[in-house]
Structure 1
Amino acid sequence: MENASIGRKMAILIRAQLTAWVVTALLLLLMALLLFKLELNESKVSLGMTAVYVLSCFFGGLAAGKGGKKKKFLWGLLTGAVYFLVLFLLSWNLGAERDGFLSLILTGALCLGGGMLGGMIS
């Protein structure tokens, strides 16, 4: 019985992550189109990337909250945490420009908050 419960929880988390990353891909395609058509400056692109993080975690948290029947905000929070961890590891391994500790903390907080809000609303 315990193994089935762990498997179910992993399935919920994987589905939520897939949702979040599909939303990320779609929003990044939209951002690329807007960047191409409108020639956006760096501050607008940075704001758009922040919106991508929050919206992706929100929809991932929404999917996680619908899967988890209790403590939906925790499911959303966990989804945001895993999303941020994957994002951080990918950025680190690809040698992305490091904006500093404060930016890292802010991005993490936005991912956690977006995921938790999605879980609460689900």
Structure 2
Amino acid sequence: MNKIGTLLKSLLVSYILTGILLLLLALLLYKGNPSGEVIKAGIIFAYIFSSFVGGFIMGKKMKVQKFLWGILLGITYFVVIFVISMLMNKSVIGPGMQVITVFAMCSLGGMMGGMLS
């Protein structure tokens, strides 16, 4: 399998996992009344865990320079989320530091997944 195909399949798994985790978070919101901090933590967990799993899959498939493939997946994961957010809202959501923090979380989550694969 080619490298781009592997990246796309790993991204697909990451986004499916993100969707499942966000649906579970929505169910929690529907059934209970969690604080804003719990909601933020759930979203952060979804980003990090999804990019970690995608990076893990990339590392298993690529077998060399696993951490680089993992970080590439994390960066790509973030870029797609960022672009969709820009298209939907016509602006950047949150202050610049928040965007940088999410970028770092996604990148490092993917890198850790690649390293541990």
TM range (shorter): over 0.9
AA paired with 2:48? V
Deviation above 6 Å: which 4+ runs of structure 1? none
Equivalent residue number for residue 101 of structure 2: 106
Paired-residue identity, %: 38
Choose which of 37, 42, 45 in structure 2 pairs with 1:48: 42
AA paired with 2:78? F
Number of residues of Structure 1 aligned to a counterpart in Structure 2: 116
Q: Report deviation, 1:24.
A: 0.4
Equivalent residue number for residue 94 of structure 1: 88
Q: Report deviation, 1:97.
A: 6.6
Structure number with larger C-alpha Rg: 1
* CA contact 1:15–1:63 (8 Å) conserved in 2: no
Larger mean CA deviation between 94-103 and 13-22 belongs to 94-103
Q: Report deviation, 1:35.
A: 1.1
AA paired with 1:76? G
Using the alignment, how far apart are the partners of 1:9 and 1:19 within structure 2? 15
What are the ranges of 5 or more consecutive residues in structure 1 without an aligned counterpart?
Answer: 1-6
Q: Report deviation, 1:98.
A: 1.7
Equivalent residue number for residue 4 of structure 1: none
TM-score, structure 1 length as denominator? 0.90
What are the ranges of 5 or more consecutive residues in structure 2 without an aligned counterpart?
Answer: none
RMSD between superposed Cα atoms in Å: 1.3
TM-score, structure 2 length as denominator? 0.94
Using the alignment, how far apart are the partners of 1:81 and 1:43 within structure 2? 25
AA paired with 1:61? G
Q: 1:1-122 to 2 correspondence within 5 Å?
A: 8-95=2-89, 98-122=93-117
